[in-house]
Chains A and B, each alone.
Chain A
């Protein structure tokens, strides 16, 4: 009996540290990134139609992975409150389209890259940074996902690539535009960019 308990507790000790150190935020990001990698490596998705399917699937994953409202709010910062409710809604949609257009194409060009999930870095009570590295043949690229606690899950609200925060970068651009333009004018600029003008 005692022997069995020892074995059990040893087993427990062996298993427990992994689940304790690899926290929920890291696992959440890892799950999404791995499902994207699965889509990219799916041998059934070939050619032009396959590429289209891949993009669709990646979009669907990004929907679950990101909190676009949080991302938009933090990107605009204090300017967020200058937008009324419907403007905010439009902004979130347009911004999401821009980000998807910009990054989904790039991601679909990846195939044999390896991703390391290095560690978690707690930022605030509700936010954590999951540090990963993409290993490519040409270089190792550090990519950090900043996630926020949303109910029982964690959603990405910022991506920091080689030290450059996505939302800070866009914030600097939007800030410059909003210094001389109204929220509506900014939305028009975004519509043109997305091609829905």
Chain B
């Protein structure tokens, strides 16, 4: 009964968001992508491509054009609140090594991997409204339909979402959509980079997106609030237990981990929006 209420609320939330978005979509060309605002002006914009003379070797000419081609793809993000972001980066780093990782390690030593994967599936199924609305906001009706089918099938045949039966049986895969991506698809740029304590890398746009996601996440409607936080924390620990080593590898590979993570975040999000 309570669950029905949650989904009704989610549905209302959808409508509240979908209706204005229809206007937003029609006026989308007006929205200039602020993504162009960046700390680093693309090199190509600063200096025109050096004219290569015929005398120069072809490989060099190629390299020059390919530089510009790579540079054109280079995506940057403004970082005006760098001191805050850097402090939060250090905070999250310590949080991971001192708290999250030890807890996740302890948890994974008592919880077999299969159960942890099943738990992740369960949480993933719960957040269907976020992906469903994320698809709808982009008018991707087919993808939205797939998410709906996945939810119904995984909740029943997949036993409360414990198994990803829709993927196993029909190869209907999860579409990782959210409100932030929908905003991105309207041409709204990131604005600037923000690192949040506990949550991690984000941007102005994606933070707004998260606020939308929050209302679409059934866990947000669990009472009391402490229980809701508890469930989120458990989800986080479970997810971390399946990813121990990823963050370490990223840091190990990086020359400047802060810059590397910032770049990986915007590249990853751009890819999601383009998908």
Contacts and interface: CB of A to CB of B under 8 A. Distances in A.
A98 B71 CA distance: 23
Q: How large is the interface on B (under 10, 10 to 19, 20 to 34, 35 or more residues)?
A: 20 to 34
B156 interface: no
Interface residues of A, number: 34
B272 A173 contact: no
A172 B259 contact: yes
B10 to A, nearest CB: 26
A174 B255 contact: yes
Interface string A89-128: 0000000001101110010000000000000000010110
A170 B255 contact: yes
B255 A172 contact: no
Given A74-B67, A163-B270, A164-B268, A189 B263 contact: no
B76 interface: yes
A162 interface: yes
Contacts of A101: 252
A74 B252 contact: no
Nearest to B116: A138
B117 A138 contact: yes
B252 A102 contact: yes
Q: Tell me the interface secondary structure of chain A in the complex.
A: helix
B32 interface: no
Interface string A170-190: 111111110000000000011
Interface in A154-168: 162-165, 167-168
Interface of A: 73-74, 77-78, 80, 98-99, 101-103, 106, 124, 126-127, 137-138, 162-165, 167-177, 189-190, 193
Nearest to B44: A78
14 contacts: A73-B63, A74-B70, A98-B253, A138-B113, A164-B263, A164-B267, A164-B268, A168-B73, A168-B263, A169-B264, A170-B255, A170-B260, A172-B76, A176-B259
B255 A173 contact: yes
Given A170-B260, A177-B255, 18 more contacts: A74-B70, A77-B67, A78-B47, A102-B252, A103-B253, A106-B245, A137-B113, A137-B117, A163-B270, A167-B70, A169-B267, A170-B255, A172-B74, A172-B259, A172-B262, A173-B254, A173-B260, A176-B256
